[in-house]
Structure 1
Amino acid sequence: MPPPDPFAPWLAERLGVELVGCAPVGGGCIHSAWRLDLADGSRLFAKTNGAASLPLLEAEAEGLQALAVAAGEAGPLVPVPLACGVAGASSVLVLSWLELEGGRSAAQVPQWHRLGAALAALHRRSLTRCCVAGDRGGSSFGWPRDNVIGAFPQGNGWDDDWGRFFVERRLVPQLEHLAFSGTPLAQAQSLLERAGQWLDNHQPDPCLVHGDLWNGNAAITAGGQGAIFDPAVYRGDREVDLAMARLFGGFPDPFFDGYEAEWPLPSGHRFRRDLYNLYHLLNHANLFGGSYLGQCQARMNELLSRGTDQERG
């Protein structure tokens, strides 16, 4: 969609800046994205959508604010939400501009290693900080408000039991939506019943997690700092971020080396990785259908087959 007609006056009123140019930026599948060129030579980044989409942008802004609080000055770098509201018929979120480097060269190995270590530090620091109003810190799993994962609703609330939270707030809505849409997956109920058992002996800390950490939502800036963006935050097992970082192309190996050097993952994480990533495969099946349905069924069958060893401890 084009930038809203009163975009320039809205920016001037909200931020006191003069807009002299606006160019579309690729990469988004839900919102339109823009590079904003200002009279002083600086740039900002903006997302726009219909006015009814304001809650989605507000949730994103809140997630970025929470990550920034947990990250502290040591990083990872998080774009700063500067303004969020309605301009004309459009909702708008304005963020600080990040100059990102494209590709992944050998020269970036140290930066990806540092980004992994910085994410581990963010996870650990979040346990002792309430990152937004209504956040319970490291005492419960969940989040004060519902948000979205892609374009699919992501229900939150609070629960003291991680296994129950992951099954009821993550897997159940995705599987139910597939069934209601006429594409139920075989053995879904068995998977849900056993998933809780698989997580019973795993007692993770309620870390603040990015929640949607695939390789399109992280990058190295031109200044050499690792950055993360486009979150779907909540308090959960830190392993969910590391799991998704291996999905859909994955992060470079130095990222995982850096994380492990800062805060090693406990035993059993490889099996949990496949369980946690089932959530994202299901989400893609609901959003896009196609081959993702077959991938979900194959992943469920594999988990059910391997799960017997997990149940035996």
Structure 2
Amino acid sequence: MMLNELIHLLKEHQFNQPIDDVQSVSGGSINKAYYVRANDGEYFVKINKGIPSHFFRVEAKGLKEIESTRTIQVPHVHYYNEPTDEETGILILDWVEGSKTPYTDEKLGQNLAQMHKTGQISFGYEEDTFIGVLPQPNGWYDSWISYYRERRLYPQYQLALEQGRMTGKRKIQMEKLLDQLDRWIPEPARPSLLHGDLWGGNWVVGSGGTPYLIDPSILYGDHVFEISFTELFGGFSQTFYRAYEEIYPLPDYYEDVKPLYQLYYLLVHLNLFGEGYGGSIDRILSRYIS
């Protein structure tokens, strides 16, 4: 998109401040992203075409829900639309920029633990979300294990089956694992508010070294599920984990369930990117299913 087209799009969507500068920035592989400096501040703008109408709405809703806990910072949502098939989707957020300090990782751990201590009475979420570009079905459940099986693992299993990536021994072991999930995962005491896609690229540093969460795919679930994913691809320091556990200690069985929780994200990557993640999935399945 040409920059003058972006300025026109912004003005079409209630952005009436005089614009001083627009620059294309890195915003991931899904959306086009821009830095916008206007008369009243700096903004981060994401745009995409051909997305489901609620794509940016559920992201904005997740950011607002996290913001409402007053536990950890997120970019403030200024505007989003729900595009039709022919329209361009747009999401306008605060621009966040800063440098890490010696206290940033500690603050991230403390603040995330405080967020995880907020929650509600049921597991899941009230509407479907996305993990990358993949639809992520939701709903409310009394049982975390049932939710994790039916709304997290099973849909990714089905998609892998449709794509020819769930065959042979992998298919047999996955089906057995789904049937016996409660052998290894205890029911958590309470649902925690989770970011839902917390890898190292989904937190950034703002002014004064303050950590911010970005790009959520929120749900209410086992806080161990979130921490397990932070260990899968790195991006989090030992200072972060120590600070987290000072506020919200991990259970004794954490190491036993961690691979089962990482399995979900590996299945997502299998479905998005291919067989390069198959070996990791097979090792986890073989650990639990002989």
Once the two structures are superposed, residues 53-98 of structure 1 have per-residue CA deviations (whole angstroms, 9 ceiling, x without a partner) of 441111100010011112x1xx421011100016883110000110
RMSD: 2.1
Once the two structures are superposed, residues 232-277 of structure 1 have per-residue CA deviations (whole angstroms, 9 ceiling, x without a partner) of 1011111121111111124111111111011111121112221111
Aligned residue pairs total 284
Contact 2:34 2:45 in 1 (8 A): yes
Change in Cα spacing, 1:11 to 1:271, as seen in structure 2 (3 Å) is farther
Once the two structures are superposed, residues 214-248 of structure 1 have per-residue CA deviations (whole angstroms, 9 ceiling, x without a partner) of 00001222421111110010111111211111111
Aligned with residue 94 of structure 2, among 82, 93, 96? 96
Aligned with residue 282 of structure 1, among 267, 275, 278? 267
Give the TM-score normalised by structure 1. Answer: 0.84
Q: 1:235-254, aligned counterparts within 5 Å?
A: 235-254=220-239
Change in Cα spacing, 1:18 to 1:12, as seen in structure 2 (3 Å) is farther
* TM-fit CA distance, 1:20: 2.8
Q: Which runs of 5+ in 2 are unaligned?
A: none
Which residue is equivalent to 2:39? 39
Q: Secondary structure in 2 aligned to 1:139?
A: coil
Q: In the alignment, is residue 85 of structure 1 matched against residue 81 of structure 2?
A: yes
Q: Secondary structure in 2 aligned to 1:247?
A: coil
Contact 2:56 2:82 in 1 (8 A): no
* TM-fit CA distance, 1:152: 1.1
Which deviates further from its counterpart, 92-101 or 3-12? 3-12
> C-alpha distance in 1, partners of 2:248/2:123?
20
Which residue is equivalent to 1:309? none
Q: In the alignment, is residue 113 of structure 1 matched against residue 111 of structure 2?
A: no
Q: Which runs of 5+ in 1 are unaligned?
A: 102-106, 128-137, 306-313
Letter in 2 for 1:154: Q
> C-alpha distance in 2, partners of 1:239/1:2?
44
List 4+ stretches of structure 1 deviating above 4 A: 1-4
Which residue is equivalent to 2:179? 193
Q: Secondary structure in 1 aligned to 2:256?
A: helix
> C-alpha distance in 2, partners of 1:176/1:51?
24
Q: Percent identity?
A: 31
Contact 2:56 2:80 in 1 (8 A): yes
Letter in 1 for 2:222: D
Which residue is equivalent to 1:255? 240
* TM-fit CA distance, 1:52: 3.8
* TM-fit CA distance, 1:51: 5.2
Letter in 2 for 1:97: W
Letter in 2 for 1:81: V
Contact 2:60 2:77 in 1 (8 A): yes
